[in-house]
Amino acid sequence: MACDLILVNYASALDAKTAILSAKHCLRPILNRIIVIENGTGEAEEFRRIGCEVIEFSENKGFAYAVNAGISASLRSKRPSKHVMLINPDAYLLPGPWLRFFSWIVPEVAAAGPAVLSMSGEIQASVYSEPQPFKIVMELLGAQKIIRCIGIKRSMPILNTQVDTLQGSCIVISLNAWKKIGPFDENFFMYHEETDWCLRARDAGFYNIYDPSVSIVHKGGIEVPSGRELMYFRSAVHLVAKRRGESEAQRLRNNLRRAARIKSIFEFDSRRKEALIRVGMEL
């Protein structure tokens, strides 16, 4: 049941160390190695001081590239683990029955995820069905935010259940499944790489499971950070191209450009307005 922790750091050492300490506490009986991928921000020594193995890059080559490097290092270990836990620097584990959580990861399971809470303790959406082009456009237009503002909350499963995809802020991957499915697609610089992998796992006959008996806190929330809209929706288009073909992806790209131009007219936040204009012009 041994597990390696893999964390990709980009100028987030303070938060990342909190994530690591929480894993050391909650996964103590099974935690094997802690591997930090330092994406060119000069913080490697911060992690070596607390006993982490560090893979250091001189530049940021993207989240998927970094995770692949970390898992490759895990697979080369003389003390191999059965699983890897990927955790964001802005997330941390809460105490709970984590050993039971890992017991659910039988050979047919590719990935497992916990419940994800906001800083206020509100449960976040952390399981998803396969992305649909219409829903991606509505996401850009802010439909989710509007729904939350009028008090409609998305319900989450309360029991262990099989799902299509899991949120990537904390996800446990079976290394047995990884060997059969392959690595993250590095054409996703950031965003949607875990969605793509979960869907590939499902296509290959594996299961992905969600177990809310354990939970993490994710400080970052579920909205796309301001300024990263172009990166996010480029990845969404790439995912649709892989799943539905290039013609469907081009249709989505055109619809996103139109939606971004329209939304930018009504956006008052200058940074987000500029980001939407970029989506409308450069996607």
> Does the structure show a pLDDT above 60 at 155?
yes
Tell me: pLDDT of 143 over 70.
no
Q: State how far the Cα of 7 lies from the Cα of 20, in Å rounded to an integer.
A: 8
Q: What is the pLDDT of residues 35-56, one digit of tens each?
A: 999 998 889 999 999 999 999 9
Residue 110 backbone phi and psi in degrees, to 5: -90, -40
Predicted local distance difference test score (pLDDT) of residue 35: 98
Residue 146 has pLDDT above 60, yes or no: no
pLDDT tens-digit map of 82-106:
999 999 999 999 999 999 999 999 9
- DSSP bridge partners of 123: 117
With bands split at pLDDT 50, 70 and 90, how would you rate the model's confidence at 157?
A: confident
**Dist CA 261 CA 268 (whole Å):** 14
pLDDT band at 220 (very low <50, low <70, confident <90, very high): confident
Per DSSP, helices labelled H in the chain are: 13-26, 44-48, 63-75, 98-103, 133-140, 143-149, 175-181, 193-203, 229-244, 246-265, 270-282
Q: What is the rounded average pLDDT of the residues 244-249?
A: 96
DSSP string, 80-98: --SEEEEE-TTEEEPSS-H
Give percent above pLDDT 70 in the chain.
Answer: 94
Please compute the mean of the pLDDT values over residues 261-272 and round it to a whole number: 90
In DSSP terms, 162 is beta-bridged to 209
Q: Higher-confidence residue: 12 or 98?
A: 98
What's the token pair of residue 142? 């802010």
Report the pLDDT averaged over residues 202-225.
Answer: 90
Position 151 pLDDT exceeds 80 = no
In total, the chain counts a number of residues equal to 283
Distance of alpha carbon 76 from alpha carbon 59, whole angstroms:
23
Give the pTM. Answer: 0.92
Give pLDDT, residue 147: 52
Confidence of residue 222 (pLDDT cuts 50, 70, 90): low
Report H helices in 115-191. Answer: 133-140, 143-149, 175-181
Residue 176 has pLDDT above 80, yes or no: yes
Domains within the chain, CATH numbers bracketed: 3-129+164-223 (3.90.550.10)
pLDDT at 228: 86
